[in-house]
Structure 1
Amino acid sequence: MPAIPQAQQEQSVQGQAATTSAQTSAQATPATSTAAGTPAVTVTPLSAAQQTALTSAQSDFTAGRYAQARAGFEALVAQNYSNPAPHFGLALTLLAQKDDKGAAFEFTQFQVLSPASYEGPYNLGVLASRAGRFDDALKFYQDAAALARTANNAQAQALALEAVAGEQTRRADFASLSTTLTDLAALQPGNGDVQFRLAQARTLAGQGVAALPGLYALLQREPGRVDAASLLADIYVAQGLPERALRELGAAVGRVANGTARSALLLQQAGILATTGDLRAAIFAARDARTADTRNVAAYVREGQLRLQNKDRAGALSAYQAAVQLAPKDAAARTSLAALRLDLGQTAQATQDAALALTLSPDTATRARAQFVQGVGLYRQGQYARARTLLASSAAATPSAETSLWLGLSSYALKDYKGAVSALQASVQASPSAEARRNLASALLADARYTEAEAVARGLVTDSPKDAEAWYLLGLSQRSQRRDGEARQSLRTAANLGNVRAREALK
């Protein structure tokens, strides 16, 4: 969600406030009322000499001579404490010197002496935000906006409303943000960015339909806005109208000449088409997206994903290779290529690609996936210790049945049967596949936990009576418990189903 950066807020308010302080000092100010129960403060005008001193201090501030400026403003405060201008100048100087505590004190004094000025609460909001007191910051900014509105100062009100919007965005309060941006849009009816942010906030607040009129109006004025067309499609998808979303995106593609923008819209089309089950059309859209912008790595990756879903492994491989060639330092693309190569049996290349991806500062999910691919690749190459280390890290970051299965196999290969049992139990718990259960039974047998192994094997043959390996494991678990008659029967069943090891065990 767009929001005014904090640094920009501070810079803006300093420039605005400095002008105000000069104006305030040039005229006598009547007594002002403060909060209920607080005595009114009489503001004393600056004398001619004090005005000259104020101008000099302001010049020092503008020139960046902050030590001289501070000395000048502090001298004026000592001479005329009840005039707001020296307090304001001193506050700005202390703010520039990163003395936030001193600045907050002086802005508070300014607010007491000039309660109708928005600059006091606005700057206090900046300081509260800096200190992480976001609730206080929001309240100060709201007070500043109200004061600016009362003074009919549209520019100041817009500045304060931007700050309010920033704090509401921080807390993801999109309903309140919608109200704030409605006020800002009324002040700036020709500002397309504000109009878009309002539509975006309404959508995030669950009021996407209410955002449609504003989006269509924005697109009438600025037909080339990709963000508005994209949001429009998102809203229709959320309403269960993917075909309508696709038509809106198609119309936008026709209006946009910029290749990068067209590519983004086509890529969004591909995503929607994929959710409708039309993989062929989705692949064509992704292909058109990369054609529109040959530097769009995401388009190549998306095409690879879609071709893989469509069981076109050769096409997926070509797309991933193009993505990596285009962006050799893209960890996610490199990891996708590695995973596909692993599935294709290109173990050495897959392992190498995954290892390289791990050097490219991947995010947590990509790191875990790359560790999995490298771990499986190393397991297949007989490097079980390294494989186990990588798979353990992957499982810790992103647990999955498949990762736990390979972790269990690596531990088993290292004769760490307890570790194998633990990992395989996690795999079965996540997804009780026959493969994971058979390996768990084997690990339990190796760890001399015969009763548990029998229970797992019996469950397998009950679910799949023609599972020869499961009958073999059942026979071994029974023989280990010296139940030879039952064991021979189970092993004979396994042998009859074609299990070679069971035939050897019966000799």
Structure 2
Amino acid sequence: MTQHNLKVLLGLLLVAPPAASAQTLLDTSAAISVQNTLQQGQSGSMTVNFDACKLAPQACPEGQAPTGQTPAGQTQPAPATVAPAATPPAPTLPPALPLTEAQQKQLAQAQAALGAGQLPQARTLFEGLIAQNYRQPEPHFGLGLTLLSLGNLKGAAFEFTQLVALAPERPEGPYNLGVIAGREGRFADALRLYGEAATLARGKAGPATQRQVLEALAAEQTRAGDFAGLSATLAEITALDPNDVNAQFRLAQAQVLAGQGAAALPGVYAVLERQPERVDAALLVADIYVGQGLPDRAVRELDAAAGRVRNGGDRAVLLLRKADVLAASGDTRAAVFAAQDAAREDSRNAAAFARLAELRTARNDRPGALAAYEKATALAPQNAAYRTGQAALRLALGQPAGAARDAAQALRLSPDPATLARAQFVQGVAAYRQGQYGPAQTALRASTAAAPSAEAYLWLGLSAYARKDYAAAATALGESVKLNPTPTARQNLASALLASARYAEAEAILRGLVSDTPKNGEAWYLLGLAQRAQSREPEARQSLKTAANLGNAKAKGALK
């Protein structure tokens, strides 16, 4: 997969799902969202249906016991487990005393208050229970949820840490500590804690509980760029629900991002078997084949997918990717046809017309490119990038006034930094070509400040030279040469140095230039001037004669 498409995949698919259901054990009434999980690109974010009874005692139907409790509210003996390696072993504690009948009633009242959002009352009731029976884990858990809902992260973390010590076999403690770590920006800790929770939940908690923990783990793996780990986590999720097509697709995405494109193909094809019109899956298949060095296969897959989908908008998306694949493989002619087909399929798709303009520009069809840009800017008048592209094309077509107008419009649209620098560059060159050297210098100086480039510094130097500000011209042209020592930049720098009476520096540059480009008559002429200015007439005449023999009229005049 190309770097461009990798960025697209990350940009489109690493999005946050909606906030999770309120009043669950693992995700409380504060509606904590699991951030940045890989999601399907077809129909938005995935909603996870949590097992509320197993996750939150207060959400259970009356008379149904939550996991780890008897109907009377007493904690059942936990199976022997080994604490995760990342967590220090807890000290051996005496067994918890059973809740008395009065304490069971108070626990139910506290859970009901939490479920109803009566947080101060819930806090008081849970704290009272803890004071009466500290080793019972359930009041610590309930108080942790309450404090988390109140935004008291420090207090909640303390209670969940107690829960881990008192009930190390339960995933709720490390999970909620992971939630707190994420809120505090301690993402490495969140990743570790969610991993511990997943280990504790695996094979013991219900499928919905395991799914929620795994989704949280997947979110942090995505954030960390651990796509190999993410692939393993998503494989567990798909095993929990083999019918979840979106999870299967996310697994394939993660495998591609982990560099396992070929391994992802069976999964993506399985998705397409069940949902043949799914555009994101077809795009991923094409990206995989491109990554395998098989662009022709990618093109055929995109053509096949375009034949399966039912609306022009989807076909346009597929055809645009086809255009990109063809252009990347060097077939710009076929790429233009693919982009034209995309624009025809969806005549309201500004991106299709903008891409068509870029491809026509690459084939030196500037009039055709300008027509496409005009369509793109008409469809998306607030798109600064399209307006800037149109401005640059007008400049190339020798329309500086039109280029200046388009660049000014683009600058009023709050462009991103790269587009800002490009628009300022076009504005500066357009001003220079209209003889407006002061505005040109101002715009080009702004462009170089936003994004230094050899070309912008070159035109900045030319603008300063035109204003007879030779010192500024030499400085700007020197920067241009540092970034890209083209013959044009070096020759203009030498001219600025000569105009600044910096003859020895100019001569050094010109000697290198005539060595690299011995048939450059202008460079030989300038070298003769530099030598004459240093009173080395014999050398100067020899350089001027060389320039004259190469057809330089100014050199012939200087020899008289």
Q: TM-score range, shorter-chain basis?
A: over 0.9
Cα deviation for residue 435 of structure 1 reads 1.7
Match of 1:5 in 2: 16
- Equivalent of 2:93 in 40, 46, 56: 40
Secondary structure of residue in 2 paired with 1:8: coil
**Partner Cα separation in structure 1 for residue 419 and residue 111 of structure 2:** 53
Cα deviation for residue 308 of structure 1 reads 0.5
- Equivalent of 2:509 in 419, 441, 456: 456
Higher helix proportion: 1
- Structure 2: stretches of 5+ with no match in the other structure: 1-9, 29-51, 61-65, 84-88
Q: Structure 2-normalised TM-score?
A: 0.84
How has the CA–CA distance of structure 1 residues 10 and 441 changed in structure 2, closer, same or farther, with 3 Å as cutoff? farther
- Equivalent of 1:309 in 352, 362, 380: 362
In the TM superposition, what whole-angstrom CA distance separates every residue of 1:400-433 from its partner, at most 9, and x where no partner exists?
Answer: 3212211221232344433322322232233332
* Equivalent AA in structure 2 for residue 78 of structure 1: A
**Partner Cα separation in structure 2 for residue 172 and residue 307 of structure 1:** 37
How has the CA–CA distance of structure 1 residues 155 and 241 changed in structure 2, closer, same or farther, with 3 Å as cutoff? same
How has the CA–CA distance of structure 1 residues 4 and 434 changed in structure 2, closer, same or farther, with 3 Å as cutoff? closer
Between stretches 198-207 and 25-34, larger displacement belongs to 25-34
* Equivalent AA in structure 2 for residue 58 of structure 1: Q
CA contact (8 A) 1:31 1:40 kept: no
Cα deviation for residue 437 of structure 1 reads 1.8
- Equivalent of 1:19 in 57, 60, 64: 57
How has the CA–CA distance of structure 1 residues 5 and 104 changed in structure 2, closer, same or farther, with 3 Å as cutoff? farther
1:107-256 matches, within 5 Å, as: 107-256=160-309
1:257-272 matches, within 5 Å, as: 257-272=310-325
1:357-372 matches, within 5 Å, as: 357-372=410-425
Secondary structure of residue in 1 paired with 2:414: coil
Cα deviation for residue 387 of structure 1 reads 2.8
**Partner Cα separation in structure 2 for residue 141 and residue 20 of structure 1:** 23
CA contact (8 A) 1:3 1:169 kept: yes
Cα deviation for residue 473 of structure 1 reads 1.1
* Equivalent AA in structure 1 for residue 223 of structure 2: R
**Partner Cα separation in structure 1 for residue 188 and residue 543 of structure 2:** 70
- Equivalent of 2:531 in 471, 478, 484: 478
* Equivalent AA in structure 1 for residue 331 of structure 2: D
**Partner Cα separation in structure 2 for residue 224 and residue 427 of structure 1:** 51
**Partner Cα separation in structure 2 for residue 358 and residue 107 of structure 1:** 52
**Partner Cα separation in structure 2 for residue 360 and residue 48 of structure 1:** 68
- Equivalent of 1:423 in 476, 479, 482: 476
CA contact (8 A) 1:3 1:162 kept: no
Between stretches 286-295 and 308-317, larger displacement belongs to 286-295
In the TM superposition, what whole-angstrom CA distance separates every residue of 1:183-231 from its partner, at most 9, and x where no partner exists?
Answer: 1111111111111111111111111111111111111111111111111
**Partner Cα separation in structure 2 for residue 466 and residue 118 of structure 1:** 78
Between stretches 168-177 and 406-415, larger displacement belongs to 406-415
CA contact (8 A) 2:58 2:112 kept: no
* Equivalent AA in structure 2 for residue 83 of structure 1: Q
How has the CA–CA distance of structure 1 residues 385 and 71 changed in structure 2, closer, same or farther, with 3 Å as cutoff? farther
**Partner Cα separation in structure 2 for residue 136 and residue 383 of structure 1:** 58
Cα deviation for residue 356 of structure 1 reads 2.2
Confirm or deny that 1:76 pairs with 2:156.
no
CA contact (8 A) 1:154 1:187 kept: yes
CA contact (8 A) 1:407 1:423 kept: yes
- Equivalent of 1:98 in 143, 151, 172: 151
CA contact (8 A) 1:266 1:289 kept: yes
How has the CA–CA distance of structure 1 residues 356 and 242 changed in structure 2, closer, same or farther, with 3 Å as cutoff? same
**Partner Cα separation in structure 1 for residue 211 and residue 169 of structure 2:** 17
Between stretches 360-369 and 220-229, larger displacement belongs to 360-369
Match of 2:447 in 1: 394
Cα deviation for residue 20 of structure 1 reads 7.0
* Equivalent AA in structure 1 for residue 425 of structure 2: F
**Percent of aligned pairs with the same amino acid:** 57
Cα deviation for residue 495 of structure 1 reads 4.6
**Partner Cα separation in structure 2 for residue 3 and residue 347 of structure 1:** 42
CA contact (8 A) 1:242 1:272 kept: yes
In the TM superposition, what whole-angstrom CA distance separates every residue of 1:280-324 from its partner, at most 9, and x where no partner exists?
Answer: 211111111122222322211110000001111011001111111
1:342-353 matches, within 5 Å, as: 342-353=395-406
Between stretches 23-32 and 253-262, larger displacement belongs to 23-32
CA contact (8 A) 2:481 2:489 kept: yes
Cα deviation for residue 332 of structure 1 reads 1.0
- Structure 1: stretches of 5+ with no match in the other structure: none
**Partner Cα separation in structure 1 for residue 110 and residue 340 of structure 2:** 63
**Partner Cα separation in structure 2 for residue 371 and residue 4 of structure 1:** 33
Q: Structure 1-normalised TM-score?
A: 0.93
CA contact (8 A) 1:471 1:494 kept: yes
- Equivalent of 2:432 in 379, 391, 394: 379
Q: How many matched pairs?
A: 507
Cα deviation for residue 109 of structure 1 reads 1.9
CA contact (8 A) 1:347 1:377 kept: yes
How has the CA–CA distance of structure 1 residues 6 and 93 changed in structure 2, closer, same or farther, with 3 Å as cutoff? farther
**Partner Cα separation in structure 1 for residue 319 and residue 212 of structure 2:** 37
* Equivalent AA in structure 2 for residue 446 of structure 1: A
**Partner Cα separation in structure 2 for residue 14 and residue 152 of structure 1:** 15
Secondary structure of residue in 2 paired with 1:345: coil
Cα deviation for residue 385 of structure 1 reads 3.9
- Equivalent of 1:487 in 529, 537, 540: 540
Confirm or deny that 1:28 pairs with 2:74.
yes
CA contact (8 A) 1:412 1:420 kept: yes
CA contact (8 A) 1:4 1:166 kept: no
**Partner Cα separation in structure 1 for residue 178 and residue 106 of structure 2:** 29
Secondary structure of residue in 2 paired with 1:150: coil
Confirm or deny that 1:281 pairs with 2:334.
yes
**Partner Cα separation in structure 2 for residue 476 and residue 456 of structure 1:** 13
Secondary structure of residue in 1 paired with 2:462: helix
Cα deviation for residue 233 of structure 1 reads 0.8
**Partner Cα separation in structure 2 for residue 457 and residue 306 of structure 1:** 38
In the TM superposition, what whole-angstrom CA distance separates every residue of 1:78-106 from its partner, at most 9, and x where no partner exists?
Answer: 23322222222221121111111111111
**Partner Cα separation in structure 2 for residue 240 and residue 110 of structure 1:** 53
Cα deviation for residue 6 of structure 1 reads 7.7
Cα deviation for residue 506 of structure 1 reads 4.6
CA contact (8 A) 1:10 1:126 kept: no
Cα deviation for residue 260 of structure 1 reads 2.2
* Equivalent AA in structure 2 for residue 27 of structure 1: G
Cα deviation for residue 66 of structure 1 reads 2.1
